[in-house]
Amino acid sequence: MKGFYIAAAYFRKSKFQVIIVALMITLAAFVMGLALGLATDYTDNFNRTHERLNAEHITIDFADIGNSGKDALTEKIEADDRITEYGISDVLIGNGSCPFGENGLLISSFLPMRFSDAEKLAVGRYEITGEGDEGDGFIPYIFSFYYKIGDEFTVSLDSGEFSFRIKGFYNNLTTGTVNCKTVVLLLNDETFDRFEAAGLRRGYHIGLQLASPGEAERLEPDMITELSDAAPGLVFAQSTNYVKLSKSRYISEKVFVGILFAAAFVVLTVLLSVIAFSLSNYVKENMHNFGVLKALGYESRNLMSPIIVAMLSLSLAAASVGCGLSYLLLPTINTILEEQSGIPYTIRFLLLPDAVTVGSIALLVFLTALLSMIKIRGIQPITAIKPMRKEARGILSLPLQRTKLELNFALGLKAIFSDIKKYLVFLLTACLITIMLCVAIFCSDNILQHSERIFRCIFGNTSDLMVRMNTADEDAATGWLKEQEEVELMFLMTQGSVCHMEGGKIDAACRDEEGFAQCGYLLLTGSFPSSETELSLNYVYAEKHGLKIGDSMTLNSNGKEETYTVSGLFQDASFGGRNLFLTREGYERLTELYSLSYMVNLKEGEDLEAFIDKIKSELPSVGVINYREYMNGMSSNYIRMLNAMIVVIIIISVLISVLVLSIIVNMILFNKRREHGILKSLGFVTSQIVFQTAVSFLPMALLGSVIGLLISRDGVCALFSYFVRDIGIASFGESVQTVSLVLCGLGFTLFTFAVTCILSAKVRKTVPHDLFNNE
């Protein structure tokens, strides 16, 4: 019971500080709980969905060669003991594009499939997520963010343009995404027959489940080769695997969670600093009372434990509230992340992440309180009868009689030296907050305002158009394009898939000399290939398989093998770090090129849509894609995610700054109420005292900003690079610009001054009469 009174006395005397600490604990739990929930359960949603839909570990699309070919495939699959279950669906195969995102475009392989066939599948089931009464077909759930049931869906394929009304949306792990280049369209029989009658080639969509799912990436090329050998004449179209899908579907989530964990670290660091300072200050100001209690027979543990237990209880309660509040923001974040992953996620209570969040915060608060209260052991009963001594001012001082500074400014600076510990806490806060703000500025500079920087890493180039043609039409088409005055630049960039027997399927792109010149920013070390026997390799793939410049690498395509020398390493997120570059001659050593893609840049000011119409009119045999729209479509959800992340960072920064300033300013005003009364009796007005208080924070705000900005100059870029390194980006954008750094530091300093002025305004209630009170 006596312990209760000691704890109650602490809460009564420090109620404002306790409220601020409780709010900061709530904020820390809010951010940390959100990050842990997304990092664990959200990612596990892929595995749960995979199990629920009995999804494939490898999918392969082949062109049809008749019933005999299908029978041969089935026989080969059933004889392979590495395959535990499989499914074969009859589809149509067509390459093309469709509107996607906000004024964007999706380039993909589209596989029309009969809905009636999809309903019969046991492997790779299609889960309907929304359905209307009328319509012609279902499209992936990821499209539901841009289309509604009943809308017209138009897809431009090699054999023409097709439209149908959307009946609903489906969820499927392998064909319901847009970043693995295969999109199935589930159509009714009438619409399917219309697609087939227009000339789309028939094919098979094969789903394989393996005894060892982790081997999917390595076994994928084996499966393609063996199935091709089983049915001679079978033409491979596209494939993907479990490992690639699990990575590609959560790119945004990984970046977002990383930033949330960084923000949680900042909030926790500031929180623990504030708790340590607040409790130490309480012990210092109540040493006389603690001495009296020890003289009455209380032991140190009797004085420490009630307050420590009270702080522990406060942390458990506030952290639980913070975790609960995080569920209010989760629906908004879930919408943003679902837009990238394309996998529906059901929000639910997460006991383990919440328990870890509450437990870890409570433990940190307990340890901090214990270490802060430990000095009570040094207090002796004699302290009760000793007069209280003023704390030494230290070697730092500001003699007012010799200063040339304006008096109010000088009084403000002098206040720093009277209690340096309070200001050091704010110095740490200013440093960490500035780093967080620099993260937001980095996102804005490198992605939102100058999107071409991230586009170059994700898409490999920032061209205006992609022109696709058969090799038979190449000379005529390229000759015509070079003659057009609107064209500024044109280069070859054709992509395909080959097999590296030590690492599985890998995407290969062949470029011409001009094409390599345009992607020089991707090169990390070495050089791009200059002969038919060289290749350059994505650094992620090179690190994973122990390859370096000068090593040999054997590639296989349709049973033919060739050996190449690694000439350089580059970064590129187009294929999650699994890609390489070859010269055209090097690519043709492996396989014959039947179709080509050329990237075209127009001169500044040229009408892009008008030029596209011109190509369609003059070159009816080629396909043309607005590559700008493709980049906009594929990046629109990333942009929204980063906008949301910037808003979260700014809100957290503002809240931390205001809370820390509130607790420090309140303590300063309380400790200096008599001094302020003296100043008012000498003729100082409220505005002058407010100015003095606000000025006292400026040096720490400015110094903390400078330290934070120096760390952020290159540190923020390194932080982002760490988050996206596994997907193929080693250097994420450019360092934060000096102008942005300066504006950030000045902005935070001015914000500190403004907030401190507002918080100090209550000094108006202090009057000289307070000098004669014992308050």
Q: Are strands 579-583 and 595-602 parallel, antiparallel or unpaired?
A: unpaired
Question: Residue 367 falls within a domain, yes or no?
Answer: no
Average pLDDT over residues 99-127: 87
Helices (H), 232-373: 242-248, 251-285, 287-295, 300-341, 351-373
pLDDT of 382 reads 67
Q: Are strands 579-583 and 236-241 parallel, antiparallel or unpaired?
A: unpaired
Which tokens go with 336? Answer: 């943003």
Crossing angle of helices 287-295 and 300-341, in 10° steps, is 130
For the cut 60, the answer to whether the pLDDT of residue 401 exceeds it is no
Q: Are strands 105-114 and 182-187 parallel, antiparallel or unpaired?
A: parallel
Question: Residue 446 falls within a domain, yes or no?
Answer: yes
Q: What is the 3-state secondary structure (H, E, C) of 703-762?
A: HHHHHHHHHHHHHHHHHHHHHHHHHCCCCCCCCCCHHHHHHHHHHHHHHHHHHHHHHHHH
For the cut 80, the answer to whether the pLDDT of residue 106 exceeds it is yes
Same domain, 650 and 609: no
pLDDT of 655 reads 87
For the cut 90, the answer to whether the pLDDT of residue 180 exceeds it is no
Q: Are strands 534-538 and 560-570 parallel, antiparallel or unpaired?
A: parallel
Domain boundary among 603, 634, 665: 634
Same domain, 610 and 476: yes
Higher pLDDT, 697 or 481: 481
Average pLDDT over residues 324-345: 86
Same domain, 419 and 508: no
pLDDT tens figures, 237-286? 778 888 777 777 776 677 778 888 888 888 898 899 888 888 887 887 77
Same domain, 535 and 621: yes
Indicate the residue type of 664: I
- Mapping DSSP to helix (H, G, I), strand (E, B) and coil, where does residue 72 land? helix
Same domain, 465 and 426: no
Higher pLDDT, 571 or 548: 548
Same domain, 561 and 494: yes
pLDDT tens figures, 653-681? 888 888 888 888 887 777 777 777 777 77
Question: Residue 17 falls within a domain, yes or no?
Answer: no
Residue 393: band (very low, low, confident or very high) from pLDDT cuts 50, 70, 90: very low
> How far apart are alpha carbons 536 and 726 in whole angstroms?
18
pLDDT tens figures, 679-720? 777 777 788 888 888 888 888 888 888 888 888 777 777 777
pLDDT tens figures, 598-618? 999 999 888 998 999 999 889
For the cut 50, the answer to whether the pLDDT of residue 395 exceeds it is no
For the cut 60, the answer to whether the pLDDT of residue 725 exceeds it is yes
Same domain, 648 and 588: no
Task: Give the chain's count of helices (H) and strands (E).
Answer: 24, 20
Residue 529: band (very low, low, confident or very high) from pLDDT cuts 50, 70, 90: very high
Neighbours of 367 (CB within 10 A): 12
Structural contact between residues 512 and 492, judged by C-beta atoms closer than 8 angstroms: yes
Which tokens go with 234? Answer: 């079978």
User: Residue 509: beta bridge partners?
Assistant: 495, 581
pLDDT tens figures, 195-245? 888 888 888 899 999 988 888 877 887 787 778 777 777 777 778 888 777
> How far apart are alpha carbons 508 and 496 in whole angstroms?
5
> How far apart are alpha carbons 114 and 184 in whole angstroms?
10
Residue 734: band (very low, low, confident or very high) from pLDDT cuts 50, 70, 90: low
Domain boundary among 587, 615, 634: 634
Helix (H) or strand (E) holding 578: none
Question: Residue 311 falls within a domain, yes or no?
Answer: no
pLDDT of 522 reads 82
Nearest to 446 by CA among 648, 719, 690, 242: 719
pLDDT of 600 reads 92
Question: Residue 666 falls within a domain, yes or no?
Answer: yes
Nearest to 439 by CA among 635, 722, 634: 722
Higher pLDDT, 595 or 454: 595
For the cut 70, the answer to whether the pLDDT of residue 453 exceeds it is no
Question: Residue 715 falls within a domain, yes or no?
Answer: yes
pLDDT of 360 reads 94
Domain boundary among 205, 224, 248: 248
Higher pLDDT, 218 or 562: 562
pLDDT of 396 reads 45
> How far apart are alpha carbons 578 and 601 in whole angstroms?
27
Question: Residue 349 falls within a domain, yes or no?
Answer: no
* Percent of the chain scoring above 90 in pLDDT: 21
pLDDT of 501 reads 66
CA-CA distances (angstroms) from residue 579 to 38, 505, 535, 542? 29, 9, 10, 10
Higher pLDDT, 461 or 87: 87
The count of domains in the chain is 3
Going by C-beta distance under 8 Å and a sequence separation of 6 or more, which residues neighbour residue 478? 490, 598
CA-CA distances (angstroms) from residue 617 to 474, 567, 708? 17, 42, 57
Higher pLDDT, 659 or 114: 114
Same domain, 79 and 221: yes
Q: What is the pTM of this model?
A: 0.77
Same domain, 97 and 194: yes
Going by C-beta distance under 8 Å and a sequence separation of 6 or more, which residues neighbour residue 294? 300, 303, 379, 380, 381, 383, 384
pLDDT tens figures, 115-172? 999 999 889 899 999 999 889 999 999 999 889 999 999 998 877 788 999 999 999 9
For the cut 90, the answer to whether the pLDDT of residue 42 exceeds it is no
pLDDT of 394 reads 43
Q: Mean pLDDT of all residues in the chain?
A: 82
Same domain, 493 and 623: yes
For the cut 50, the answer to whether the pLDDT of residue 448 exceeds it is yes
Q: Which structural domain range is residue 166 located in?
A: 58-248
Same domain, 642 and 530: no
Question: Residue 357 falls within a domain, yes or no?
Answer: no
Crossing angle of helices 251-285 and 686-724, in 10° steps, is 140
For the cut 60, the answer to whether the pLDDT of residue 774 exceeds it is no
> How far apart are alpha carbons 111 and 62 in whole angstroms?
11
Residue 536: band (very low, low, confident or very high) from pLDDT cuts 50, 70, 90: very high
Q: Is the dihedral of CA 119, 124, 127, 132 positive or negative?
A: negative
For the cut 90, the answer to whether the pLDDT of residue 43 exceeds it is no
B/e letters for 137-159, b = 16+ CB within 10 Å, e = fewer, are bbbbbbbbbbeebeeebebbbeb
* Percent of the chain scoring above 70 in pLDDT: 87
In 591-726, the DSSP E strands lie at 595-602, 623-626
Same domain, 429 and 544: no
For the cut 60, the answer to whether the pLDDT of residue 400 exceeds it is no
- Mapping DSSP to helix (H, G, I), strand (E, B) and coil, where does residue 243 land? helix
